[in-house]
């Protein structure tokens, strides 16, 4: 998209984004998402991401996100444990190794810098 826009996040249709099997610690979490804007050089990405209950691991990029619905506990290896829910803004740093325990299907809006 090259122009300004508005998108109602709770109703946005998302596409499947399968997890790598080695990321799943427990449960059967499913991920969906939608990139709504990307810079020409691909170094900035903004979008919507959703995950169903379960436990997964990830290695993060520099990211700011706001939780729209749901809840999770995000454990940062060697760092804090973040409890996130609707209305919470969180910042993850590039290289953070995280474990996400998703309690209720979580939907977030994000901005990532690569």
User: Averaged over 70-94, what is the pLDDT?
Assistant: 98
Residue 68 confidence class, pLDDT cut points 50, 70, 90: very high
Question: Is the model's pLDDT at 2 over the cut of 90?
Answer: no
Bin 104: left if φ > 0, else alpha if -120 < ψ < 50, else beta. Answer: beta
Residue 10 · residue 68 · CB < 8 Å: yes
Question: Is the model's pLDDT at 64 over the cut of 90?
Answer: yes
Residue 38 confidence class, pLDDT cut points 50, 70, 90: very high
Residue 53 · residue 104 · CB < 8 Å: yes
- Under DSSP, the state recorded for 60 is -
């Amino acid at each position: 998209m090259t122009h300004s826009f508005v998108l109602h996040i709770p109703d946005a249709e998302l596409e499947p984004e399968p997890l790598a099997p080695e990321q799943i610690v427990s449960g059967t979490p499913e991920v969906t998402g939608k990139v709504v804007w990307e810079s020409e050089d691909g170094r900035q990405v903004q979008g919507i991401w959703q995950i169903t209950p379960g436990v997964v691991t990830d290695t993060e990029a520099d990211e700011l996100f706001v939780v729209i619905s749901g809840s999770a506990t995000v454990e940062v290896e060697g760092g804090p444990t973040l409890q996130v829910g609707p209305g919470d803004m969180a910042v993850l740093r590039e290289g953070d190794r995280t474990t996400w325990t998703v309690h209720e299907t979580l939907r977030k809006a994000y901005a990532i810098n690569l």
